[in-house]
Amino acid sequence: MTARLIDGAALAAQARLGVQERVTQLARVGRAVQLTAILVGSTPAAEVYAENQSRTSHAVGIDYHLIKLPATATMDDVRAAIENLNDDPAVTGIMLHLPLPKQLDATVLQHAINPVKDVEGVSPANIGYVVYGHTLIAPCTALAVIELIKSTGVNLCGLEAVVVGASEIAGKPISLLLTEQKATVTLCHIETKHLIEHTRRAEVLVVAVGKAGLIGADHVKEGAIVIDVGINRITLPDGTKKTVGDVQFEAVSEKAAYITPVPGGVGPMTVAMLLKNTLRSAELLLQQNDTNTPT
Ligand code: NAD
């Protein structure tokens, strides 16, 4: 079998268009969508990431602000910045760039973000809502994975899904959203014995580890849907650098029914889901305001 490509870049462009239309409608009635990101300390990579985010947000009409705090910022400093944004009615979405300097606890700070403004869906409250089946804002990468699978037209209900990688940012939320779709989910991690015995059963295989080429053709069931979340920079024998996933793309393409490329798969879709979540936050706040406004 030769796999069909799931074109994350094209699907992301489509999703962005939908966001842009609704953001424009809201702006016309004076309800601007505004995302503020907090960057603590600065590395060239973080600056580039924030710059890209600013560009993609503005492209769909979302007003993007970046607050830069020094690398020496304390928990109190960052918490105060978050609380100001929580209280500011002009700010409809908040995100905290990771990684943080080591004196800061990311989980505690993410917990401080108003769950309705938490556009990354990382606050413990939002993760909890997913567990209880009342999703408010879902984590972006997990949402991207679900959207990419749905684009194949295959119904996840009852399918055997295996997720490799069990981090808080990727694997665990992905397994939660797959469970919500009623797939039968196995979550594998570094301590999983005989990984291949699990992955070979997967009708849907999602890999989020960060190890180039971890999954080869032998790991994959004929006709599976393979979603590669991994992003790895490797150096080729001629010294050039290349971005690859965790899946051996060429070999696995011969066996899978559908596969995502890296780059151009989960990555762009995750960015599109951040914009979609930013719009959702703004809409949820509007609903709250309308409910609280006396008639
Ligand atoms: P992480 O290091 O926090 O977690 C890695 C997970 O993989 C852990 O649960 C670990 O137990 C598991 N693991 C490690 N080696 C394994 C092995 N040999 N077999 C099975 N499991 C193993 O990484 P992360 O933050 O979850 O990121 C994973 C990858 O996904 C990275 O390449 C990252 O760049 C990428 N990523 C991409 C996006 C995106 O939007 N495209 C978002 C988040 C992460």
If you ran DSSP here, which 8-state letter would residue 213 be given? Answer: T
Q: Tell me where in the chain the CATH 3.40.50.10860 domain(s) lie.
A: 29-115
73 lines ligand 1 (CB under 6 A): no
Q: Alpha helices, DSSP H only, in the chain?
A: 8-28, 44-59, 75-87, 106-112, 124-131, 140-150, 171-180, 195-199, 249-253, 266-292
The pLDDT, as a whole number, for residue 295 is 55
Q: Do 174 and 166 meet the contact criterion of CB atoms below 8 Å apart? A: no
The pLDDT, as a whole number, for residue 294 is 61
209 lines ligand 1 (CB under 6 A): yes
Distance 210 CA to ligand 1 centre (A): 5
Q: What's the CA gap between 20 and 34, in Å, rounded?
A: 13
Distance 186 CA to ligand 1 centre (A): 16
Q: Could you give the 3-state DSSP secondary structure of residue 71?
A: coil
State whether CATH 3.40.50.10860 applies to domain 29-115. yes
Q: Among 259, 281, 292, 287, which Cα is nearest to 7's?
A: 259
User: What Å distances lie between residue 117 and 37, 133, 171, CA to CA?
Assistant: 11, 19, 23
**Which homologous superfamily does the CATH classification assign to the domain defined by 140-266?**
NAD(P)-binding Rossmann-like Domain (3.40.50.720)
pLDDT, averaged per 10 consecutive residues of the chain (295 residues), comes to 95 98 96 97 86 95 97 98 98 95 96 97 94 93 98 98 96 97 98 98 98 98 98 95 97 98 96 98 92 66
Say which residue the tokens 């959203």 belong to: 177
Q: Is the pTM of this model over 0.85?
A: yes
Tell me which of 190, 209, 232 to substitute to probe ligand 1's pocket, judged by most ligand atoms within 8 Å of the beta carbon: 209
Amino acid letter at 159? L
The pLDDT, as a whole number, for residue 215 is 98
Q: Do 225 and 205 meet the contact criterion of CB atoms below 8 Å apart? A: yes
Distance 163 CA to ligand 1 centre (A): 11
Tokens of 256: 């899978």
Outline where DSSP puts E strands in the chain: 4-5, 34-40, 63-69, 93-96, 160-164, 184-188, 204-207, 225-228, 232-235, 241-244, 258-259
Phi-psi sector, 117: left (phi>0), alpha (psi -120 to 50), beta: alpha
Q: Tell me where in the chain the CATH 3.40.50.720 domain(s) lie.
A: 140-266
62-112: pLDDT as tens digits: 999 999 999 999 999 999 999 999 999 999 999 999 999 999 999 999 999
The pLDDT, as a whole number, for residue 45 is 82
- From the alpha carbon of 210, which atom of ligand 1 is closest? 32
Burial of residue 252, with CB atoms counted within 10 A of its CB: 0-12 exposed, 13-18 middle, 19 or more buried? buried
Terminal-to-terminal C-alpha distance of the chain? 61
- From the alpha carbon of 144, which atom of ligand 1 is closest? 40
